[in-house]
Structure 1
Amino acid sequence: MPVTVTRTTITTTSTSSNVVGSPRALTQPLGLLRLLQLLCTCVAFSLVASVAAWQGPMGNWSMFTWCFCFAVTLVILIVELAGVQSRFPLSWRNFPITYACYAALFCLSSSIIYPTTYVQFMSHGRSRDHAIAATTFSSIACLAYATEVAWTRARPGEITGYMATVPGLLKVFETFVACIIFAFISNPNVYQREPALEWCVAVYAICFILAAVTILMNLGECTNLLPIPFPTFLSGLAFLSVLFYASALVLWPLYQFSEKYHGQPQRSMDVECTYKHPHNVCGWDRRLAVAILTGVNLLAYLSDLAHSARLVFVKV
C-alpha cells in the first residue's frame, strides 16, 4: 500500500500574537489571562516569602515554581508588548504554548505537594494562613495556564507549530513526569542494589533526553537538520520509548515490591515509613510513586506513538 509523509511543522503565526506591539495586547483575552498568571504567581511566592515558609526540598520546589513562572510570564508579556517576537531566540510559534503547558504542570504539582508535605505539618498561625493562601493562588495560576494551553492548542485542520499539537504537548507531559520520577529516585539507595533497577533509571534518563531534544529542536526550528524525515524520527522515538517504559513497568515493581527479589511488599516493612517526617517522603512511598508514574508515562508514550504514526502512514 503506498504511503506518504505529512508535514508536522508549518510556518505561520500563531493565534497568540494577533495583537502585539501595543498596550492593546493586554486587553485581549490571552493578554488578560497572562496578567492573571502573573498576579497569582507573584502573590503566591510573596505570601510564602514574607513568612519564610518554604524550608525543605518540597517547599523549595514550590517556591522555585512560582518564581520561575512569574519571571517567564513577565518576559512573554514584555516581548508581546514590544512586538519583538521575530527577535526572540526561540520559535514564537512553539515557545509560549510549550511554556504554558510546563507552567500548568509545575503549578499543579506545587498545589498538591506543598500542602500535603509542608502545610499540614505547620502549626496554626500567620505562617500557615499565608501558606494556605499561596496554595490557593497556585491553584488559580494552574487553571489559568491550562486555559491558555486549551485556548492556543492546534485545532483540526489548523496550521500551527508542532508544540501546539497533541504529540507536542505529550512531549511536554512526558518530560515533566520524568522530572518528577528523578526527584523521587534522587536517593541512590532506591535503585543501586539491583542491576534491573539501574536499567529502569537508565530508561527514564534516555527517554527524557530524547523527548527533551525533540522539544529543543522544535523551539530552535532545526528539525530539518535530522538525517531522516522528522515524522519518521518521532514515530521511531515513540516506539523505542514504549518498549523501554514497558520493561521498566515490569521490572521496577517486581524488584521493589516482591519478596522473591528482596523487595518490600508492605509499607510497614520500611522502617523509615513508621514515622512521619515533615517535608519528606519515605522510601516505600517514593518507590510506589515511581511505579505509578512509570505507568502514567507509558500511557503517554502509547498515545504519542498513535498520533505520531498518523504523521507517517497516511492511506492514499
Structure 2
Amino acid sequence: MVTLDFKTLTVPVGILRILEVIFTCITFSLVASAYYTTNSFWAWCMFTWCFCFCVTIFILVLELTSLNSKLPISWDDFTTSFAMLATLMVLTASLLYSIIFTCSGCGRQIAACVISFLTFILYAVEVGLTRAKPGEISGFLSTVPGLLKVLEAFVACIIFICLDFTIYSTHPGLQWCVAVYSICFIFALLVIILTIGRLLSRFPAPFNKVLIACNVLAVLMYITAVIIWPVYSFRDRQRPNSCPVICPWNIIIVVSFLTCVNLIAYIVDTVYSFKLVFFTTQT
C-alpha cells in the first residue's frame, strides 16, 4: 500500500528539495532559451542541472509515497551522497558556465548563473542538514569520511574529463599518475556502492581498518602524482601566446590543481577516519 506522507514536504530538508527542483528547472530553461551549442562544457552544464532536477524529484516522490522504505538500499546514505554530489556538480557547472558562456550583455546567461549558484547553496545546506552529527548513529556516507569519499570520486571524474591522451601516452611518469587517479577512484566508488547497497556487513575484513590502510596508500600515491604530473607535463612545454580559457596548457594546470585538491581530501579523510576508529572507539 502506498501512503502519502506530506510531512516530508514541510520539513526543512523537504522545503530545500522543492526549492532545488524549482531553481534547477529555471536554470536549464534560461540556458536552453538563450542559445544551443555542441560545446562539451555546455552539454556538461545542461546535464548537471537536468540530472539534479530529475533525481531530486525522484527523491521527493519516493519520500512522499513512503516507497523509499521499501527499497533494498540505505536511503539516508543515498540521499546524503546525492546531495554532496549535486553540490559539487552544480558548483562546477556554475563556474564553467559563468567563465565560458557569459558576457556583460548576456542577461539570460547571467541570470542562469546567479540562480545556479543559489542552487549550489541549497544543496550545500542540505548536506549540512543531512550530515551525521557527532554521537548520531547513521550510515557511513552521512559522516565526514563518507562525504569525502564522494568528493574524492567526483574530483577524479573531473580529472579524467580533462586528461589528454596525447599528453600522457608517451610519458611513463604521467601514465603512473593516471593509474593513481584510476585506482583511487575505483576504491572510492566501491566504498560508495557497498555502503548504499548495505553490503559492508558482508565485507570479509574490519572495514574501518581496511579503509584507513587504503586511505594511507592513496595519500602516498597522490603525493607522487602531485610531484610527477607537473614535472613531466610542463617539461619542454611553454605557454602559447594565444591560450583561451580552454587550451591544453590551462587543462594541465587544472589537472595539477585538482590533484592537489584530492591529496588534501585524502589527508583529511585519513586523519578523520583514524580519529573515529582509534579515539572515538576507545572512549
| TM-score under structure 2 length normalisation | 0.93
Equivalent position of 1:59 in the other structure: 42
CA distance in 1, matches of 2:45, 2:128: 24
2:242 to 274, 293, 308: 274
Equivalent position of 1:225 in the other structure: 202
1:205 corresponds to 2:182: yes
CA distance in 2, matches of 1:141, 1:34: 10
Q: Call closer, same or farther: CA 1:88–1:253 in 2, change over 3 Å.
A: same
CA distance in 2, matches of 1:147, 1:172: 16
Number of equivalent positions: 279
Equivalent position of 1:310 in the other structure: 275
1:131 corresponds to 2:99: no
Q: Call closer, same or farther: CA 1:30–1:282 in 2, change over 3 Å.
A: same
1:111 corresponds to 2:84: no
* Deviation for aligned residue 1:181: 0.8
Equivalent position of 1:46 in the other structure: 29
Q: In the alignment, is the contact (CA less than 8 A) between 1:40 and 1:138 conserved in 2?
A: yes
Equivalent position of 1:90 in the other structure: 73
Q: In the alignment, is the contact (CA less than 8 A) between 1:21 and 1:81 conserved in 2?
A: yes
Equivalent position of 1:15 in the other structure: none
* Deviation for aligned residue 1:119: 2.1
* Deviation for aligned residue 1:110: 0.7
Q: In the alignment, is the contact (CA less than 8 A) between 2:28 and 2:112 conserved in 1?
A: yes
Equivalent position of 1:149 in the other structure: 127
Q: Which has the higher contact order (CA 8 A, sep 6+)?
A: 1
**Of the two, which has the highest radius of gyration?**
1
| TM-score under structure 1 length normalisation | 0.84
* Deviation for aligned residue 1:149: 0.5
1:174 to 152, 169, 172: 152
Q: In the alignment, is the contact (CA less than 8 A) between 1:54 and 1:63 conserved in 2?
A: no
Q: Which moved more, 1:79-88 or 1:95-104?
A: 79-88
CA distance in 2, matches of 1:263, 1:222: 48
Q: In the alignment, is the contact (CA less than 8 A) between 2:243 and 2:249 conserved in 1?
A: no
* Deviation for aligned residue 1:275: 4.6
Q: Please, which runs of 5 or more residues in structure 1 have no aligned partner?
A: 1-19
**Partner deviation per Cα, 1:243-298 (whole Å, 9 max, x = no partner):** 110110110111122xxxx432x42xx3xx6153xxx6111111111111111110
1:252 corresponds to 2:229: yes
Q: Which moved more, 1:301-310 or 1:37-46?
A: 301-310
Counterpart of 1:197, as a letter, is L
CA distance in 2, matches of 1:107, 1:239: 30
Q: Call closer, same or farther: CA 1:140–1:27 in 2, change over 3 Å.
A: same
* Deviation for aligned residue 1:233: 1.7
Which secondary structure does the structure 1 equivalent of 2:75 belong to? coil
Q: Please, which runs of 5 or more residues in structure 2 have no aligned partner?
A: none
* Deviation for aligned residue 1:89: 4.0
Which secondary structure does the structure 2 equivalent of 1:274 belong to? coil
Q: Which moved more, 1:224-233 or 1:196-205?
A: 224-233
Counterpart of 2:79, as a letter, is P
